[in-house]
Amino acid sequence: MKNDTNLVNTLKYNPDMCKGCRICITVCPHGVFEEQGRVVMINKEACMECGACQRNCPHGAVTVESGVGCAYAMMRDAISQKIGFSCQKSSGPSCGCNC
């Protein structure tokens, strides 16, 4: 069996550490975090692991362990033929980075 550990999204959200500041919702360029009542829900499929949420969460409720961010997302999407080898779109980078 092939080792697919590099294809696993490493975004983790700990609701017990979350204090409800909603900074993750504000800083995420991909809409991964969504407020549903008093709870923050995550959509891991939308995450490109850019790390904006982790860098800005003042309570440590969000972690991204892989550190590959946009590079991983671009390769994943290119392999699945969703996009070419650039995250550039006519309106600018879709990943929120400066590539």
User: Among residues of the chain, what percentage have pLDDT more than 70?
Assistant: 62
38 versus 2: which is more confidently predicted? Answer: 38
pLDDT tier at 76 (50, 70, 90 boundaries)?
low
Domain containing 32 equals 10-69
What is the amino acid identity at position 38? R
pLDDT tier at 49 (50, 70, 90 boundaries)?
confident
The tally of domains found in the chain comes to 1
Q: Which residue has the tokens 């980078």?
A: 93
Residue count (the chain):
99
Is 14 inside a domain boundary? yes
pTM, full prediction: 0.61
pLDDT at 3: 47
CATH number at residue 14: 3.30.70.20
Is 88 inside a domain boundary? no
Is 54 inside a domain boundary? yes
Is 83 inside a domain boundary? no
User: 3-class DSSP state for residue 31?
Assistant: coil
